[in-house]
Structure 1
Amino acid sequence: MILIVDDRRENILPLQKILELHRFQVDTAESGEEALRKVLTTAYSVIILDVQMPGMDGFEVASAISGFSKARDTSIIFLSAVNTEKKFITRGYTAGGIDYLIKPVDPDILVLKVKTLQKLYEQQQELRATQQSLRHEIDVRKRAQEELATQVDDLQTVLASIPLMAFTVKPDGQIEYVNAHWIRYTGTDTAFPEAHPDDHFLTDWAAALVSGHEFTREVRLKELSTGRYHYHLLRAVPSRKNDSIVRWIGTFTDIHAQKQTAERLEQEVALRTQELVLNNVELERANHELQQFTWVVSHDLKEPLRKIQFLNDLIKDQFLNDNPDAATYLDRSIRASARMTSLINDLLAYAQLSAPESFQPTNLNALLDELLLDFDDSISRQRATISVGPLPILDTIPHRIRQVFQNLIGNALKFARPHVPPVIAIHAELIASKALDGPPMPDGPYCRIIVEDNGIGFNEKFSSRIFVLFQRLHNKSSVEGTGIGLAIAKKNIDKHHGLISAKSQEGEGARFILVLPIKQSEQPVALLTS
């Protein structure tokens, strides 16, 4: 903006119109005092100032304006029609004027001068803005440098206090800082510790500097005082700024004691593993010998029992037909011998379950069709009904899984309610998991088989006992049996990596649940025969 100062209005108007025609913004003042008040509140690029004015003349006004910081870039042009002598011109320049023009003024010359001074003012303002921006940038950079220096000092303080070998290096690998623990292994702060030749540490470290990725590895470092190598864990992390690595920060942690402990543990584990292998071999040998012993004992026990039963039958038929009391006692002896024979056979079957055997795909429906032929007499005599739903093909040991169904069906017929024909139902579904209540799944990896009957049942609080050897829930006199059948079934299901459970209520039948894998991933090992 341009300020025209003249005490005569008729002198202001022509200059104002000329400047406004050239698109300058123009303000006016009709005294020196008014001009000073306006300069205090408004920034002017050029002031056209008349010399002869009442009160404050132009020279006094210019001197006063030069003391205002707001007008430090303002250019002053003096106009005078009277004071044209050299001394007045000199005083004008001394008072802070840029030019001194004699009236009448050539309008074109005045406009050119104003344009030049206006452009100079704008350039000065741009320069000052640039200078201010540079000062701000310098201040920001100085504060950043101070903060960075503080952070580096803090980092070095922390690194010096930790019980590790700590260091920082420049992006080119040159060491920048090391703490006191470093000197213990190097004796200098300009080189890395000596590593074991077999660790190829320096080669790997150079590759890490090139890749720019975090570097972690174990390395053996030579201790200067002892000459011995100690295991250390190196971890070096790049510190980045604006996607560029400014330094690497790293530590060497002494893990020698942990490595020695780990090696001792590995040796202990290897020793214990070897002992377990030897013990397993001995256990398998003992198991094999026990099976052989079981065979021999069962054979030796069964042979005299057969003779006792034969002789008892012979005595009864030939000598006791006329003595009912003696025949009764002899019948009890014959039945006791039969029970002992059954017990020996069941014990022999239970002992044989420890022998490893191979799995093979088994059609359970075909297996049950064949098994039910063995129960024809009992089924006909008891007028029993047995229904078998579609069963899948499973990986089983066929004669073992046959034992399971034989015991379950046999028990269902044996523990029938008096005068009530037995009803036995067998059905299956595929499930998603090895769980008794696993959710059904069309192509599940496990099969849930349910065998249920309408027999006398049992109190469910005893369900955990019925699979234990020699456990019976019913009186011997009411139902024949050895108490081994369900224990054999449980051991067979365990051998198939499956589950078995029972649910029941007295007088309302029993429900046995089997869960078996469709495919067997574990194959049994051959038994040692030494």
Structure 2
Amino acid sequence: MILLVDDRPENILPLKKILELHRFAVDTAGSGEEALRKVLNTTYSVIILDVQMPGMDGFEVANAIAGFSKAKDTSIIFLSAVNTEKRFITKGYTAGAIDYLTKPVDPDILVLKVKTLEKLYEQQQELRATQDSLRKEIEVRKQAQDALTERMQELQRVLSSLPQMAFTIASNGQLEYVNEHWYRYAPDSRNFPSIHPEDDICASWAAALASGTEFTQEVRLNELASGDFRYHLLRITPIKQQEVVNRWIGTFTDIHAQKKTAELLEQQVELRTNELLLKNTELERTNHELQQFTWVVSHDLKEPIRKIQLLNDTIKEKFLKDNPEAVSYLDRSIRSSARMSALINDLLAYSQLSVPEDFQLTDLNALLGELLLDFDDTITRTGAVITIDKLPPVDTIPTRIRQVFQNLISNALKFARVDEPPVVRIYGELIATKAIDGLPSPAGPFCRIVVQDNGIGFDEKFLSRIFIIFQRLHNRTSYEGTGIGLAIAKKNIDKHHGLISARSCLNEGASFILVLPVSQASRLRESDPS
């Protein structure tokens, strides 16, 4: 902005118009005092100042402006029609003016001078801004350098206090600092410790240095005092500033004791593994012998029981028809023989559950349809109603899963309420997780199957007992059975890597719940991701 100072408005007006025509912003003052007030509040690039004014003349105003720091870059041009002598011109320059023009002044010359001084003012402002920016940059750099020096000193203090070998490497890969532990393995701070030939790190460290990535490797270092190679873990981490590596911090951690312990442990594990393999072979042989023994024993036990039953039936029919008391005793003996035979059969079935068998995709509806044929007589005799909803195909061992459903349906028909036909419903759905209460999912990896009846039920406080072999909740005189059926069911479900549980209340029926993997192959993949 340009400031025109003259006590005569007729002098100010033409100059103002000329300057405004050349796109200058122009301000005016009618006296020296007014000019000083304006200079205090506004920054001007050029002041065109009349010399002859009442009150403060132009020289006094110029001397006063020279003392204002705000106007130190402002150029002053004197205009005078009276004081044109050399001594006045000299006084004007001495007062701080850039130029001294006498009236009448050539407008074009004045405009050119103002343009030049305006441009000079702008350049001075740009230069001053650049200088301020440089000063700030220098100050920031100085502070950063001081902070970096302080951090380096702190880092060196920390590295000196470590119980490890610690060092720093410059960005060019040269050692910069090492702590006291370094000298146990290296004679000086310019070279790395001697590394075992089999643990050469040159190529891998060069690659990490070039890529700016962390470097880690186990190495064996030669201890100077003993001459022995000791295991260390070398870790070198890049320190980056604005994504540029400016140094590296490294440590050698002594892991010799841990390494030796691990080697000893591996030897012991290998030894123990071999022992276990031998034991496992022995157990397999013993198990095979036990299965053979079970078959032989069961056959030898079942044969005399069949003869006892046959002889008792023969005696009853031929010789004791007319002796009710003897018939009663024989019937009890026959029933006991039958229970013993059933018990032998169940024990034999239970012992065979450890024999490995293959899984195959099974149509459960077809399997249950065939199984119900075995219960035709019981269903007809009791008036039972059994409904089977559509079940999804599942990977099973068919003979084993048939045993499970056979025991559950048999129990549902056996433990019916008096004078009320049994009602059994079998239904299922896919679920998301292996859980009895898992949420339904159309593509779930597990299948939940429920066998529900309307029988006498049981108190759920006995839930933990019902799947244990020989555990019975009812006496033998009321309900037949050996107490092995649900134990067989649980062992079969365990063999399928599934779950079995039950929900029940006394006299309100029972629901037996099975959870099975739909696919045994996917179950194996989940349990062993490798």
Q: Please tell me the residue identity of whatever aligns with 2:345.
A: N
| One-letter amino acid matched to 1:384 | A
- Counterpart of 2:237? 236
Q: Distance in 2 between matches of 1:26 and 1:509?
A: 105
Counterpart mapping for 1:23-422 below 5 A? 45=46, 124=124, 126-227=126-227, 228-241=229-242, 243-321=243-321, 323-422=323-422
**Cα distance, 1:119 vs structure 2:** 5.9
How far apart are residue 239 of structure 1 and its match?
Answer: 1.3
Most deviating of 497-506 and 65-74: 65-74
Provide the residue aligned with 2:528 in structure 1: none
Are the aligned partners of 1:76 and 1:96 in contact in 2 as well (CA < 8 Å)? no
Contact 1:432 1:444 (C-alpha < 8 Å) held by counterparts: yes
Alpha-carbon distance between aligned partners in 1 of 2:6 and 2:50, rounded to the nearest angstrom: 5
**Matches of 1:30 and 1:488 in 2, distance apart?**
119
What is the CA deviation profile of residues 287-306 of structure 1, one whole-angstrom value per residue up to 9, with x for unaligned ones?
A: 22221221222222233333
Q: CA deviation at 1:472?
A: 1.7
Q: Distance in 1 between matches of 2:509 and 2:433?
A: 27
Matched residues in 2 for 1:223 and 1:362: separation?
Answer: 67
Say which is worse superposed, 259-268 or 343-352, in terms of deviation. 259-268
Distance (Å, rounded) in 2 between the aligned partners of 1:320 and 1:302: 25
- What do residues 165-217 of structure 1 show as CA deviations (whole Å, max 9, x unaligned)? 33332322122333333333323222233333333312111111211233333
Q: For the structure 1 residues 294 and 146, does the alpha-carbon distance in structure 2 shift closer, same or farther, using more than 3 Å as the test? A: same
AA aligned opposite 2:353? L
CA distance in 1, matches of 2:104, 2:364: 129
SS in 2 for 1:186: coil
Which deviates further from its counterpart, 56-65 or 303-312? 56-65
Deviation by residue 1:37-93 (Cα, 9 ceiling, x = unmatched): 88878868567685x9999999888878767666666567697978958x8888887
Task: State the structure with bigger RCO (CA 8 A, min sep 6), 1 or 2.
Answer: 1
The Cα of 1:116 is off from its aligned counterpart by: 6.2
Query: Are residues 115 and 458 of structure 1, via their aligned partners in 2, closer, same or farther at CA, if it must alter by over 3 Å?
Result: closer
**Structure 1 counterpart SS, 2:272:** helix
Is the contact made by 1:222 and 1:230 (CA closer than 8 Å) also made in structure 2? no
- 1:214–1:238 Cα contact (<8 Å) kept: no
Distance 1:245 1:463, change over 3 A: closer
Distance 1:174 1:330, change over 3 A: same
SS in 1 for 2:514: strand
Q: Which runs of 5+ in 2 are unaligned?
A: 525-530
- Which position in structure 2 is the counterpart of 1:464? 464
CA distance in 1, matches of 2:383, 2:155: 92
Q: Secondary structure at the match of 1:221?
A: strand
Q: Distance in 2 between matches of 1:15 and 1:210?
A: 72
Alignment partner, residue 490 of structure 1 = 490
Query: Is the contact made by 1:46 and 1:76 (CA closer than 8 Å) also made in structure 2?
Result: yes
> Structure 1: 5+ residue runs without aligned partners?
525-530
What's the CA shift string for 1:434-474, capped at 9, x where partnerless?
Answer: 32233333343333332233333333332332221112222
Alpha-carbon distance in structure 2 between the residues aligned to 1:118 and 1:506? 106
Deviation of 1:234 after TM superposition, in Å, equals 0.7
CA shift, 1:483, in A, is: 1.6
Equivalence for 1:500: 500
SS where residue 477 of structure 1 aligns? coil
Aligned to 1:283, the other structure's residue is in SS state helix
One-letter identity of the residue aligned with 1:251: T
CA RMSD of aligned residues (A): 4.1
- 1:476, distance to aligned residue in structure 2 (A): 1.5
Q: For each residue in 1:130-174, what CA deviation from the matched residue of structure 2 results, as whole angstroms up to 9, or x when unmatched?
A: 444433433333333223322222222222223333333232212
Amino acid at match of 1:240: Q
- Structure 2: how far apart are the matches of 1:368 and 1:119? 103
Could you tell me the TM-score, scaled by structure 2's length?
0.80
- What TM-score, normalized to structure 1? 0.80
